[in-house]
Amino acid sequence: MRQVITAQQMRDAEQRVFDAEPDVDLMGRAARAVAKIAEGVAPSGPVLVAVGPGNNGGDGLFAAAHLADHRPVTVWLAMGKGHEAGLAAARAAGCHVVDAVAAAAALGDAALVIDAVTGLGSRPELPTTTATFAEACEASAVPVLSVDLPSGLDADSGQVHDSFRAQHTVTFAALKACHVQEPAASRCGQVHVVDIGVPVPQDEGQAVRQADEADVARWWPRPDATSDKYSRGVVMLDTGSEHYQGAALLTVAGALNAGAGMVRYTGRVHSGLVLSRFPSVVVGEGRAQAMVLGSGWGDTDGAEGRVANARLHGLPAVVDANALYALPQGRLDGWLLTPHAGELSRMLGCSRSHVQTEPVSCAREVARTTGAAVLLKGATQYVAEPSGRVTIAVPGPNWTAQAGSGDVLAGICGTLLAAGLPAWRAGVVGASIQAMTAARNPGPYPPDALAARLPEVIGSLLA
Ligand SMILES: NC(=O)C1=CN([C@@H]2O[C@H](COP(=O)(O)OP(=O)(O)OC[C@H]3O[C@@H](n4cnc5c(N)ncnc54)[C@H](O)[C@@H]3O)[C@@H](O)[C@H]2O)[C@@H](O)CC1
Ligand SMILES: [K+]
């Protein structure tokens, strides 16, 4: 699990270090880390460093000085000035300081561009010369290493503006929102988090973290010698409708391939269809540990009654699709709601673009008011808990943006709830395993084909 902090939390943490140790050279540590990663990305050849007026530029200038020790380094002061001591160090080390025209020309020979124009202090709208240079970098084959974040992005947001597009980003102490939230995250390339001796404690209730594959492996429920179908978990699926029969099959595929002890099907799709594809399914209500509701219901009547009936069972439930608009009154402790941005916006009565701009606060709001965990699906998948804590699932490729992925995911999460995982963790682990399966099987696999590959991914993860 990796922490995600705000720019302000980083600045406060840095200040605490300076208060305790006024002479500490954090910029020196940051610059050495940048130079080291630069050597790994491009071990030889000329380096071109684009430098801004603040401390991000300072990191870049001291890194340039390190690199100039043994290779040609060109420095461009993108906004006409640079960190004073850093610039002196770079000049003393033999860096060649050039203007915008010469910088554009130097791009042709460069083995690496270091982008140190803006970092935590970045404001949207890069000056035109810098934006043009960033475009030229993108059009060239030269790799870009961004210091802290690709200049032009906002550290605390996943939104994109004119910015550099990096192959590598070196950041300090902890991840920031732009490194993990799409679409900005895609502009960061591989993100290296470097410890520069700045501890960043977080308020647990408001924490944002990103799960990794080790978390998924640790949390995945595995049977032992005492297990039977009931102790592994029985999940009851009320999914699909006459119009969306496939949704029933997709939720069953997700639930079974995630390792349910038993799947019961209680939805309105003809049981013969379900059994012809999945003969181990048991049709009708019975003993169960979790339910899945809503996938493929469409606008069918009686949603409120079906959700209320599920509540009477007293079981944790995954609530998906149209069941999200039929939530019963009262706290839904232990439930997992799985909206995408459009569904969450309808639940909140706001625009979809607002959810896309503020995904964390929107997911938190619904978790707080319902008492359920909320898995907000999309290119980045967020799980908010009623406490305010948010966990981002392991990211995956964009191929899973297709009809039916959400149905499979609801089934996977149902199995995990039935196995006894708390709702937030079922959401994180379910979304992560689907992303990991897609990452290991790149290409346009339909959701049922990817569901069929879950067992081998789960098996290899736990081996
Ligand atoms: N906070 C910390 O703990 C550490 C910070 N360090 C570095 O310091 C950076 C933060 O430094 P600063 O606070 O000086 O901020 P930045 O260096 O990110 O940027 C500030 C400067 O850039 C200008 N600027 C920002 N966006 C602009 C835009 N769109 N158009 C024109 N000008 C723009 C601002 O006016 C200001 O002069 C971090 O990103 C990191 O690289 C490191 O040295 C190590 C430790
Ligand atoms: K930068």
pLDDT (mean) for 94-99: 98
From residue 414, how far is each of 20, 36, 364, 409, 451 by CA, in Å? 49, 45, 21, 8, 14
| Residues lying with their CB under 5 A of ligand 2, a single-atom ion | 115, 119, 146-147, 151
CA of 148 to the centre of ligand 2 (A): 5
Exposed e or buried b per residue across 230-244, where buried means at least 16 C-beta atoms within 10 angstroms of its C-beta: eebbbbbbbbbbeeb
CA of 151 to the centre of ligand 1 (A): 9
* Residue % of the chain over a pLDDT of 90: 92
In this predicted structure, the answer to whether residue 190 has a pLDDT above a threshold of 90 is: yes
- Among 126-135, 310-319, 339-348, the range scoring the smallest mean pLDDT is 310-319
Please state, in angstroms and rounded to a whole number, the distance separating the CA atoms of residues 447 and 405. 5
387: annotated binding-site residue? no
- Write the pLDDT tens digit of every residue in 71-89: 999 999 999 999 999 999 9
Q: Which ligand is nearest to the CA of 9?
A: 1
**Atom number of ligand 1 nearest to Cα 123:** 26
Q: Specify the pLDDT at position 428.
A: 98
- Write the pLDDT tens digit of every residue in 208-263: 999 999 999 999 999 999 988 988 999 999 999 999 999 999 999 999 999 999 99
Between 97 and 205, whose confidence is greater? 97
Q: Specify the pLDDT at position 71.
A: 97
Q: What confidence tier does 309 reach under pLDDT thresholds 50, 70, 90?
A: confident
Nearest protein Cα to ligand 1, atom 44: 27
Q: What confidence tier does 203 reach under pLDDT thresholds 50, 70, 90?
A: confident
Q: Concatenate the DSSP letters of all residues of 6-50 into one string.
A: -HHHHHHHHHHHHHH-TT--HHHHHHHHHHHHHHHH--SS-EEEE
Strand ranges inside 377-450, DSSP E? 382-384, 390-392
> Based on C-alpha coordinates, what's the Rg of the chain?
25
Q: Specify the pLDDT at position 401.
A: 87
Domains and CATH numbers, the chain: 2-202 (3.40.50.10260), 213-462 (3.40.1190.20)
pLDDT (mean) for 415-421: 98
Strand 73-77's sheet: what is its strand order? 96-98, 73-77, 47-51, 112-116, 144-147, 168-172, 190-194
Please state, in angstroms and rounded to a whole number, the distance separating the CA atoms of residues 330 and 59. 52
143: annotated binding-site residue? no
**Atom number of ligand 1 nearest to Cα 149:** 39
Ligand 1 pocket, Cβ-based, cut-off 6 angstroms: 10-11, 14, 26-27, 30, 52-59, 79, 118-123, 125-127, 147-148, 172, 196, 198
- Among 113-127, 300-314, 343-357, 376-390, the range scoring the smallest mean pLDDT is 300-314
CA of 60 to the centre of ligand 1 (A): 11
From residue 382, how far is each of 79, 337, 375, 445 by CA, in Å? 37, 11, 6, 23
148: annotated binding-site residue? yes
Reported ipTM: 0.97
CA of 119 to the centre of ligand 1 (A): 5
322: annotated binding-site residue? no
| Average pLDDT over all residues of the chain | 96
Q: Specify the pLDDT at position 1.
A: 94
- Write the pLDDT tens digit of every residue in 146-170: 999 999 999 999 999 899 999 999 9
In this predicted structure, the answer to whether residue 101 has a pLDDT above a threshold of 80 is: yes
* Residue % of the chain over a pLDDT of 70: 100
Say if CB 339 and CB 376 are below 8 A apart. yes
The pair of three-digit structure tokens given for residue 307, joined into one six-digit string: 């959700």
Q: Which ligand is nearest to the CA of 49?
A: 2
Between vectors from CA 282 to CA 277 and to CA 288, what angle results, nearest 5°?
A: 130
pLDDT (mean) for 64-68: 98
Nearest protein Cα to ligand 1, atom 24: 122
365: annotated binding-site residue? no
Please state, in angstroms and rounded to a whole number, the distance separating the CA atoms of residues 295 and 385. 22
In this predicted structure, the answer to whether residue 124 has a pLDDT above a threshold of 80 is: yes
Q: Specify the pLDDT at position 157.
A: 96
| Secondary element (H or E) of residue 365 | helix 359-370
Q: Specify the pLDDT at position 3.
A: 95
Q: Specify the pLDDT at position 451.
A: 98
233: annotated binding-site residue? no
Name the phi and psi angles at 293, rounded to 5. -130, 145
pLDDT (mean) for 340-367: 98
Pocket probe mutation, ligand 1, options 49, 120, 200, max atoms within 8 Å of Cβ: 120
> How far, rounded to the nearest angstrom, does the alpha carbon of residue 63 sit from its chain's CA centroid?
29
Which residue do the tokens 């509701």 mark? Answer: 293
Q: Which ligand is nearest to the CA of 34?
A: 1
